[in-house]
Structure 1
Amino acid sequence: MSTVGTRWRRGVAVLSATVLAALGAAPQALAADGPPSIVVQDGVTQPAFGYADAIRERLFIDSTFDSDNDGLRDIIAFDLMRPAATAQGLKAPVVMDASPYYSTVCRGNESECKADLDGDGLLDKWPLFYDNYFVPRGYAVILLDMVGTNNSTGCPTTNANQDNLSAKQAINWLNGRATARNAAGEVVKADWHNGKTGMIGKSYDGSLAMATAVTGVKGLTTVVPISGPTEYYDYVRSNGVVTRGNSYVSSLANTVTNPERREYCKPVRDAIGAADGDEHGDYTSFWNERSYVKKVPNVTASVLLYHGLNDDNVRPDHFSKFWYALAENNVPRKLWLSQEGHVDPFDSRRAVWVSTLHRWFDFWLQNVANGIMDEPRVDLERSADVWETHADWPIPGKADTEVYLQPGTTGAGGLGLVPTAKPATGAFQDNRTQSQNTMILNPDVVQPNRLAFLSAPLSAPLHISGTPTVQLRASADQTDTNLGAILVDYGTDERVAHRASGEGIITLTTEDCWGQSSPTDDGCYKQTTKRVATADYELVTKGIMDAQNRQSIRVSVPLVQGESYNFSFPLLPEDYVFKPGHRIGVIIVASYPQYSSQADTTAANLQVALKSSNIVLPVVGGTAAAHAAGL
């Protein structure tokens, strides 16, 4: 009997060489003198196993928590696919994507949802390409429903402990530390597992991968977080300023909850809304459990990290803070940085990403010695589809370089490596409705609601790599105000249009395929191309702070009207090359409506002491490179 198209639940299957060939598999994977094993050729695992005949299961685990406070432990559900050969002795690692989105927002550029088409309680449609590609290569794939979503019970808590511990339950089961049951209540064991699991996911899914890694759970061998929040405070706040308001944390919990359970979970969301501190924006214990950076010392898994440098959803400070902590703790790691916004690398650099991911999982989960850890640590997209490799990030050789704000005569102020010789003041007024374009455009024109500072046209390239910092000596005539800063490249160039529709990519109508297919699920996805545009300027990076949080994001201290203070706040991390002939611009504002959801209401008048104010740029080559560029 042919096994093509058969849905496996239990038992043992013997796959003939004929069937394996029909499935695109290599017969040598099922050697007659022992249990089946992976096939490695050219340094990577080969598609030696079937996809259509893979074993598919839905399992349920009692968790260790009760998110909806109903007196019962929540149940975490997950869908599992593994090669049929695991029933004959193949030991397989797991690739897991834990997500809250499988039945609501769904996954990928084409918004794929989980789907059971025939009502038998098993998935027919599996989102993303991981199952199609990796199951034939000897991997199992788990798509796990985060607590309170899809088939799991409880209620979502938006990156609180219950969310963060959801995937850990499955890893404990895979390693014999927890009990899973099928829909019939039968205990199911993972006796086919090789003890190693890798987690992957974009955005919320990426945060769940990092959340699991920082628990230090045994059996999690590697994680691949893609554009995921690492500090939830930074996702909805920035240095005391609320950047996403209207009870965003509870609102997201509502979004990922199945519609029929939203009313049931309302008390949980109400408790979240009451504790989030929208009224002040300070850092509290509410955010502490939603922080992964400080827990990096617990990480025992390797990390392949991806982020878009122009991601204005999960902003780049999420990757940078996590990356810096990984380096401090000597965690094995690699990094990809692209020019797009909130875009998956599968839709940005598809072929190279799939190849890299394949080799990464083979090395860490299948023990394939392919040399991937001997290659440069960082892949960085300099311009549309132009990639560089570097030994590390920030780029080795960068040095923090103070660039001072200097007074102008009739128009914008200047920028230089030494402070102005005489005391000078820049004065401006807060404008709560000023658009970002108004702040940036016409930098040579004096405007009452900003300060603009321009370098001379550069005589050589200037490369920054890392996190810039703005340092201001300023006073205000109110007890509170915000402060914002924008770093701008003024110069005509073709760039990735990351602020346009698609966040830097255009989705095409053509498809390509990655992996094998079943009658109900294929591995084919629409291709993409970069969206580029020529513009006269580029917003390189930006930052904002609440002046009352100048000492700490934990405590607000009112200003004394007219008294001068030192304000220091980071801009978002960047890796950017200013080209010769271009001018570097620094814009200083108070309210920044396109960065914050709650505009400052004080309408303060501010004065900046220019001699004591600067921007610290992480210049590759340091002061010497800045001199050479003409600063």
Structure 2
Amino acid sequence: MKNHQFAFVPTKLTDIKSELHTIRFLDQENQSLAANELLHDLVNRALVNYRTAQSKEIALTDFMVDADTDAHEFFASQAPVSKQQFYNLAFQLLQFQTNEDFSLADPLTKWAEFNLPILLDAPDEFDSTTVLKAWYLLLNTHTKFGQTLLDALAADGYFAQFNDLATPLIFNGKTQPVFDTTALIREVVYVESDLDTDHDGKRDLLMAHVIRPAETESGLKVPTLFTASPYDQGTNDIAGEKLTHNVDQPIAHKDPNQLEYSDIEAVADQQALPAKRIGNGKTARHAEEHFQNGWGYTLNNYFLARGFAVVYAAGIGTKDSDGLRTTGDRAETLSTTAIIEWLDGKRNAFTNRNGEIKIKAWWSNHNIGMTGRSYLGTLQTAAATTGVAGLKTCISEAAISSWYDYYRENGLVVAPGGFQGEDADVLAEETFSREQRAGDYHRIKAKWEQQLADITRDQDRLTGNYNQFWDARNYLKDVGNIKADMVLVHGLNDWNVKPRNVENLYQALKDVPVETKLFLHQGQHIYINNFRSLDFTDMMNLWLTNKLLAVDNHANDLIPPVTIQDNVTPETWHSLDNWATDQTIKTLNLNDQSEIEHPYDHVTPAFFDQLTKEQLTEYTKHESSGQYDEWLNDLVNNPDSPIDQTRLIFKTKPLAHDITIDGKVGVHLTLASDHNVGLVSAMLIDYGEATRLNVSPSTIGLNAINAGFQWTQDSLREFTKQAHPSPFKMISIGHLNMQNRQNSYRVNELTPNQYYDLSFELQPTFYHLPAGRQLGLVIYATDLSMTVRGTMGVTYHLNTNQSSLTVPLFNKKA
């Protein structure tokens, strides 16, 4: 294993003593003890599951301080404490196993290899002060199972034994799990929005599930983590499947246009709103409705034990709320900000759907953060771009920044990986959970069917062009309004919400005066708060303690601007100042015999876009991780491929030295189609037999992570290496409609057999390519996993003399 901990706050000795007093590891009885006695006392206090002095001493006989001495004998001898003995004990307290994980003869070698925090200036013999410093650091060190020792002790009941701890309790700049999760209050409120999307003459009410600490009943004001999840009230999977579009059809020829952006710019709807509900003059302190445990994001659960409230709301058009689904437009944004405004004390909510008795978020300290992945992260971005008051930060994971970049690309209908045939209308139908209440759906059915028809029409699958519908769902236009500090998390192998979404937002935020942190991992569409190698949860604790509790803990400085997981070495993360910035650009000409291995004999090689019906059926039979693996292998790697004629492959000669691609690779082609339509796809490939990281993380500790005492659990995960070498890996991908060679809304004519200069960018990446590997570019047309796939028999010719690849290389000096 290799550990990366960024969330440790360097602390002065006076503060170390004060904080250890606060969490009851130091008091009047032990603060003057000699080193051996002090360490003995600290270890005994950490043996939470042993309730008597005798049982603790028996437990100490199972700890070894060196190859010959157990901890009981050692402490009884009152011998000096050596550095080696301390770290032998420390390893065992951190749940590492002797002989298997480390050697008692030399613990420090493995301590350094595992990258665990250590006192750099510690002497070989510890005095009492050194013991305190080392113990403080140890409490903040990750165990073998990926959480700090103090968190592990808390899960065993360390804090539960005390009745008078401060709430919240801050240790090393982070909140601690001292709140009683068995007494959490769960209640339902209905927030009134500034919307009437179902046109019933009443403002849409939005149901919200509130979970708050029982301590709020005594007057404690707490911050809130809000997760806006359209899936929270259930999904209509069968209806969505029926609505899924047929993609086995050819690309359509489009009539040329001379559109400017002003022609397709979205215009805000200025419809008059019904009057606000006035209620009956009564205000309740408690809700009428309650709910039991349901789905909960594990990061939210972690903070519930630390005194944060958590709110889940599904938004307009979901079960027990009013309105209609719209898939990402301003109405969904305002249904998200309405909840924030209620938490900030600026909007009404009611105790039931009749809208009679008002209820305030009287327990809120008016500091709100948002959490969640995918659609849940997307609505964070949407809300943040309004500049809504009260929203202090977003932890936005795998989020869409422009819905066009989710369902379209450069004038093409392009599916999110793994969801061929899905579109904005399908997603609207899947999340319209009002269907699940028979009476409610009966009253709204006709309006919903019209709404769905409007979305299907306006999304325009025929052309794939950017239009008013997509412009209304482009949050990048309003990034300048953001006032919340942003944490952006994304997978470099996420072909569902592709990396372009986070890169565009990250670059736009550079001009906005907010704090931004970026995390890029080697996963697909996943959460990373349960990884062993990175203290992501600790960093988010540091971050939210700063942003929502106003604790000056240096979170902005300690958390790196950019944290990127390495794709070659397991459990390795790089902290950088920037991503996709200040690179060195290398140009590879596709006919350059000094760089390209086995260039084509003809200057204008051809590829033919057609599969037989049998091939299409076979290739699309088995889908894995958003790809059709057999097709992908035949397309990019198989020398005897039955579809050899459908692609051109360019490989560099084996690399003489390592390179790291940093950002967006540019593809520049001079290409001709023998029809008046054309689409071109490009894949960037890492060629070379190698044992790479698996595409999905593995569970390495089932239910190993505890969010608090007798509270929820999560499994520890990590990216591991493949059991067997693989010959290639796709690095990035891109697509272009040849008629949209200027931009995504301007359509040009395509004359058969005429060459056109085309330039487009692949999805941004950060990819380490070791020496000896080959960088490959595969040029083809139909992408079975993403584009329409009529494979209509178009022949393309590429002029290799006028085609190239521009590769942004990581500039280590930048």
**Common fold by TM > 0.5:** yes
Aligned CA distance change for structure 1 residues 216 and 581 (closer, same or farther; 3 Å): same
Higher strand share: 1
1: CA distance, partners of 2:188 / 2:404: 34
Contact 1:480 1:602 in 2 (8 A): no
Contact 2:571 2:718 in 1 (8 A): no
Is 2:604 the partner of 1:425? yes
Is 2:388 the partner of 1:242? no
Contact 1:24 1:47 in 2 (8 A): no
1: CA distance, partners of 2:357 / 2:534: 41
- The one-letter code of the counterpart of 2:371 is I
**What is the SS of the residue equivalent to 1:101?**
coil
Per-residue CA deviations over 1:328-357 (Å, capped at 9, x if unaligned) read: 334311111111111111344587221121
2:432: which partner in 1?
257
Contact 1:102 1:150 in 2 (8 A): no
Aligned positions of 1:450-465 closer than 5 A: 450-465=647-662
2: CA distance, partners of 1:40 / 1:583: 51
Contact 1:485 1:543 in 2 (8 A): yes
Is 2:498 the partner of 1:306? no
Shift of 1:423: 9.9
Contact 2:580 2:664 in 1 (8 A): no
1:335 aligned to which of 518, 532, 548: 518
Segment drifting more, 188-197 vs 427-436: 427-436
1:546 aligned to which of 737, 743, 746: 737
Contact 1:51 1:132 in 2 (8 A): no
1:154 aligned to which of 306, 317, 323: 323
Aligned CA distance change for structure 1 residues 211 and 395 (closer, same or farther; 3 Å): closer
- The one-letter code of the counterpart of 2:736 is M
1:24: which partner in 2?
160
Per-residue CA deviations over 1:92-119 (Å, capped at 9, x if unaligned) read: 111111101113259xxxxxxxxxxxx9
2: CA distance, partners of 1:447 / 1:101: 42
Aligned CA distance change for structure 1 residues 395 and 571 (closer, same or farther; 3 Å): closer
Per-residue CA deviations over 1:533-585 (Å, capped at 9, x if unaligned) read: 23111111111111011111012222112222110111011111111111111
- The one-letter code of the counterpart of 1:541 is S
1: CA distance, partners of 2:504 / 2:780: 25
1:34: which partner in 2?
none
1: CA distance, partners of 2:360 / 2:165: 24
2:342 aligned to which of 157, 160, 173: 173
Segment drifting more, 605-614 vs 358-367: 605-614
2: CA distance, partners of 1:247 / 1:95: 30
1:511: which partner in 2?
703
Aligned positions of 1:386-535 closer than 5 A: 386-394=571-579, 397-406=582-591, 413-414=598-599, 424-431=603-610, 435-442=631-638, 447-498=644-695, 504-507=696-699, 510-516=702-708, 522-530=711-719, 532-533=721-722, 534-535=725-726
Per-residue CA deviations over 1:63-110 (Å, capped at 9, x if unaligned) read: 11122233322111111122222233322111111101113259xxxx
Is 2:263 the partner of 1:79? no
1:3: which partner in 2?
none
2: CA distance, partners of 1:74 / 1:40: 40
Shift of 1:523: 1.1
Contact 2:562 2:579 in 1 (8 A): no
1:4: which partner in 2?
none
1: CA distance, partners of 2:376 / 2:683: 30
- The one-letter code of the counterpart of 1:248 is D
1:91 aligned to which of 193, 199, 221: 221
1:366 aligned to which of 518, 535, 549: 549
Contact 2:571 2:719 in 1 (8 A): no
Per-residue CA deviations over 1:365-414 (Å, capped at 9, x if unaligned) read: 111222221132112111364232333332665222221111679x9644
Contact 2:160 2:709 in 1 (8 A): no
Segment drifting more, 389-398 vs 225-234: 389-398
Aligned CA distance change for structure 1 residues 399 and 565 (closer, same or farther; 3 Å): same
- The one-letter code of the counterpart of 1:163 is E
Aligned CA distance change for structure 1 residues 349 and 573 (closer, same or farther; 3 Å): farther
1:215: which partner in 2?
386
Per-residue CA deviations over 1:15-41 (Å, capped at 9, x if unaligned) read: xxxxxx8982864455xxxxxx52211
Question: Runs ≥4 in structure 1, deviation > 6 angstroms?
Answer: 443-446
1:232: which partner in 2?
403
**What is the SS of the residue equivalent to 2:182?**
coil
- Give TM-score, length-normalised by structure 1: 0.84
Per-residue CA deviations over 1:300-334 (Å, capped at 9, x if unaligned) read: 11111111110111111111111111123343111
Shift of 1:267: 2.6
Aligned CA distance change for structure 1 residues 188 and 385 (closer, same or farther; 3 Å): farther
**What is the SS of the residue equivalent to 2:336?**
helix
2:297 aligned to which of 112, 128, 151: 128
2: CA distance, partners of 1:350 / 1:71: 54
Contact 1:76 1:153 in 2 (8 A): yes
Aligned positions of 1:269-288 closer than 5 A: 269-288=452-471
- The one-letter code of the counterpart of 2:589 is Y
Segment drifting more, 59-68 vs 394-403: 394-403
- The one-letter code of the counterpart of 1:134 is F
Higher helix share: 2
2: CA distance, partners of 1:94 / 1:247: 34
Paired residues, what number? Answer: 570
- Give TM-score, length-normalised by structure 2: 0.66
Segment drifting more, 317-326 vs 347-356: 347-356
1:64: which partner in 2?
194
Work out which of the two has the higher radius of gyration on C-alpha atoms and give 1 or 2. 2
Per-residue CA deviations over 1:428-460 (Å, capped at 9, x if unaligned) read: 222355833222014699943222111111110
**What is the SS of the residue equivalent to 1:406?**
coil
Aligned CA distance change for structure 1 residues 413 and 603 (closer, same or farther; 3 Å): farther
2: CA distance, partners of 1:568 / 1:396: 20
Shift of 1:513: 4.1
- The one-letter code of the counterpart of 2:704 is D
Per-residue CA deviations over 1:225-281 (Å, capped at 9, x if unaligned) read: 111211111111111111236462111112122242567233322221121100110
**What is the SS of the residue equivalent to 1:346?**
coil
Segment drifting more, 555-564 vs 119-128: 119-128
- The one-letter code of the counterpart of 2:160 is G
2:368: which partner in 1?
197
1: CA distance, partners of 2:585 / 2:545: 38
Aligned CA distance change for structure 1 residues 573 and 22 (closer, same or farther; 3 Å): closer
- The one-letter code of the counterpart of 2:565 is E
1: CA distance, partners of 2:471 / 2:289: 42
Structure 1: segments with no counterpart, 5+ residues:
1-20, 31-36, 107-118, 416-421, 499-503, 626-631
Contact 1:89 1:192 in 2 (8 A): yes
Aligned CA distance change for structure 1 residues 103 and 507 (closer, same or farther; 3 Å): farther
Aligned CA distance change for structure 1 residues 473 and 26 (closer, same or farther; 3 Å): farther
Is 2:562 the partner of 1:378? yes
2: CA distance, partners of 1:198 / 1:541: 32
2: CA distance, partners of 1:253 / 1:99: 13
Structure 2: segments with no counterpart, 5+ residues:
1-156, 237-287, 620-630
Is 2:762 the partner of 1:566? no
1:614: which partner in 2?
804
